Each structure stands twice: as structure tokens, then as C-alpha cells.
Amino acid sequence: MASDALDVVVVGGGQAGLAAGYYLRRTGLEFVILDAQDEPGGAWRHAWPSLRLFSPAQHSSLPGRPMPATTDGYPDAGHVVDYLAAYEKRYELPVRRPVTVTAVRRDGDLLTVHAAGESWRARRVISATGTWWRPYLPYYPGRAEFSGRQLHTTGYQGPEPFAGQHVVIVGGGNSAAQILADLSATGDVDTTWVTPRPPRLLPDDIDGRALFDIATRRRAALLQGGADDGGVAGLGDIVAVPSVRAARDRGDLRARPMFARLTPTGVAWPDGTTLDCDAVIWCTGFRPALSHLAPLRLRTTGGPIPMTGTHATAEPRLHLIGYGDWTAPASATLIGAGMNARTAVDDIARALGGRPVIRN
């Protein structure tokens, strides 16, 4: 074993990477967290100002340190950034910024993690790079011909640039509903909401807490061979945070079916109906940001990387956390990331002779 090798390199210093750091501290293992951002906060640093979490602060915490409460119960992204910054300081987590990992390669008994001009050798790597960095836009004919503005959720920074315009919002999840609510609240932006299937707006008394429990139960049922009924509610369902409730009460939350194509001036439905618009906002989700893992050739099909527990089946020294249900139930949420990190770090500690974090 090379003497200059670390026990663990964590790639990504957002909520999932920090949660891994919290548990790694308890194992006695030597580790570093490499993060591409200039400052703490991960993807939350880039969210639009009116975004609200779909769970109250006390249900959006990482392990060890509760998120401070807010007056209306649904924190904004700035609150999460402050919380994550305080979190990494409190636990003195060894985060290096800005470091963008470009590749992870096999290197005998070790893995080598490469960034511009630097590399780290490690016995285990935890990948926690999130999804924000890989926005997904579905293909629709005419997209290149549309003369208006097109942007993804990641490009939305508030209603101001759309004053006096007609905006089409695409997508049936929380991002779409909150962006629609933000635009329509101005009274100065016309909105049309299109969704591939009818959106599911949850009752006012159900929020992210219930969604997390449902995701966990559904995963347990699937592991025991039960049928996947899609759940009675899922993380894609819309939580009635105050801005969304207000939009619903104004009558602005009415969705139309998906259009078939874009035209130079707007969108067109299969029956030939057209609508002119100035902008299309694609709230159509994300994919895991995994390009740094390409040299390991872990994908056998077009689907997610096959996993055994928290590690890649074809590379047991690589653990993946925080990417969504395929790594652990609701692991792409604040509360779920902690549980995913705990299991992964416990596996690593047991394999490398560190102190386990889960007591049997």
C-alpha cells in the first residue's frame, strides 16, 4: 500500500459530501473533500431567490446539527447555504475549494483522483457530485427554430427579465410549480403550464416529511419483492408551500398537456392549436453529474450505474451517495443524504479498519 495514499477522497462538498465528512470524522480515517465551488453550499448557491424547501427546517437537517428554524417553516436556499457553511466549520471538515475532479482511475490497489495539476491516491472514493450540474432537457421538434428565450430551471433567477412577457413553463414537479408561482405572483407575466401527465398537488398538510417516509417504505417494499405501484405520493409530487398555495388560490395552477413541438414563435399541440410565447422554461429535471467516473467504465446499460449496497458493483472501492433513489431512498434530499452517507461510511470503516459508525 502506498504510504502517500489517503483512506478516503470525497468528490463533492455539497450536503451529501459534508454528511459523509461528518461520519468520516468519527471513523478515525484520513480523508479530504474536494469541491468544485468557490464557497460552501453546493447547488443551493445557485437557486433562485424565491425557492422554498418543501420541508420545514427541523426536517431538513444533516446529521448532528439541526438546521435553525425559520419563521414560516419553509426555508429559502440562502438559509440552506448558511447552514451548510456553518456545518462544515463546526465539524472542521477538510474541504478543498475550488477543485474540480476530472477523472477517477484505477491504480493497482488504489484509486487515483485527478484534478487540474493535482492528484490524490485513495483506498476508497465517495462520489457526491449531485445533479444540478447536468440539467436535462427533453428533445422536442422545433427547439432550435424557436426565436424566444429558452432556459432550464438552473438558469432561472427570478421574474424580472420576463416582465410583460408570456412564458411557457414545462414540467410537473416542484421546480415548475414554484417558478410558475413566482412568475404569476408579479401580475405582470402571463404563464402557461404544460406537463407530460397531470400534476399531483399534495394536500396542504402533506410536505417533504411525508414524502421521505413514503420513499423509504416504497424502497423497502421493492427490496422484498413487492410490486412498484409508484407510491401514493413521491418526491415528484408538488408540495403546497405558501407561494404555490397562493398561485392555486389565484387559479394560476392549471396545467395543459404537453405540446408536440416548438414553432418559431411559440409552441404547437398535436391537434394543431398554437400559442405564441416569449420564453420557454424547461423544469425537466437533472441527471447525475458523473463524467469524472467515465474512465472506470461502470455503466453496462443506458441506466444508472449498477450498485451493490452503497458501492458500484463493478468497483467496490467507489461509493456513490446523494444521487436519488438509485443510491438510497430520497438520498437527494437533505434528510436522506445523511442516511445514505452513514451507511456508505460505515461500509468503508468496516472494510478499512476504522471505527464503524453504525453499532450492531
13: contact with ligand FAD by CB under 6 A: yes
DSSP track, 276-345: E-SEEEE---B----GGGGGG---SSSSSPPEETTEETTEEEEEE-SSSTTTSTTTTSHHHHHHHHHHHH
Q: How far is the CB of 96 from ligand FAD (least distance, A)?
A: 9
Touching ligand FAD, residues 284-303 (CB under 6 A): 289, 292
Q: In terms of CB distance, is 247 or 262 closer to ligand FAD?
A: 247
Residue 7 interacts with ligand FAD (CB under 6 A): yes or no: no
CB of 249 vs ligand FAD, minimal distance in Å? 21
Pick between residue 182 and residue 262 the one whose CB is nearest to ligand FAD: 182
Asked if residue 310 binds ligand FAD (CB under 6 A), the reply is no
| C-alpha Rg value of the chain to the nearest Å | 21
Which DSSP symbol is given to 35? Answer: -
Residue 24 Cβ vs ligand FAD, minimum distance, rounded to whole Å = 15
* Residue 111 phi, psi (nearest 5): -115, 145
Under the criterion CB under 6 A, does residue 148 sit at the interface with ligand FAD? Answer: no
Q: Which of positions 15-34 make contact with ligand FAD (CB under 6 A)?
A: 15-17, 34
Binding ligand FAD (rule: CB under 6 A), the pick from 7, 9, 10, 12 is: 12
- Nearest residue relative to ligand FAD (C-beta): 14
Which 216-275 positions form the footprint of ligand FAD (CB under 6 A)? none
C-alpha distances (whole Å) from 67 to each of 53, 73, 157 are 12, 11, 24
Kindly provide the b/e burial profile for residues 244-283, where b requires at least 16 CB atoms within 10 angstroms of the residue's own CB. Answer: beebbeeebbebeebbeebbeebbbeeeeeebebbbbbbb
Sequence letter at residue 302? G
How far apart, in whole angstroms, are the C-alpha atoms of residue 139 and residue 71?
41
Cell matching residue 322 = 446523494
Distance CA 145, CA 222 (A): 43
Query: Do residues 100 and 114 make contact, with C-beta atoms less than 8 angstroms apart?
Result: no
Among 76, 94, 114, 133, interactor with ligand FAD by CB under 6 A = 133
Q: Strand 166-170 and strand 279-282: pairing?
A: parallel
Q: Per CB under 6 A, does 111 bind ligand FAD?
A: no
Q: Which amino acid would we find at residue 90?
A: R
Q: How far, in Å, CA of 32 to CA of 81, rounded?
A: 20
Instruction: Kindly state the smallest distance separating residue 160's Cβ from ligand FAD, in Å.
Output: 19
The 60-99 site mask, x for binding ligand FAD (CB under 6 A), equals x--------------------------------------x
Q: Does 319 bind ligand FAD (CB under 6 A)?
A: no
Q: Does 175 bind ligand FAD (CB under 6 A)?
A: yes
Looking only at residues 323 through 342 of this chain, which bind ligand FAD when binding is defined by CB under 6 A? 332-334, 337
Q: Which stretches of the chain bind ligand FAD, using CB under 6 A?
A: 11-17, 34-37, 42-44, 51, 53-55, 60, 99-101, 128-130, 132-133, 153, 174-175, 208, 289, 292, 322, 332-334, 337
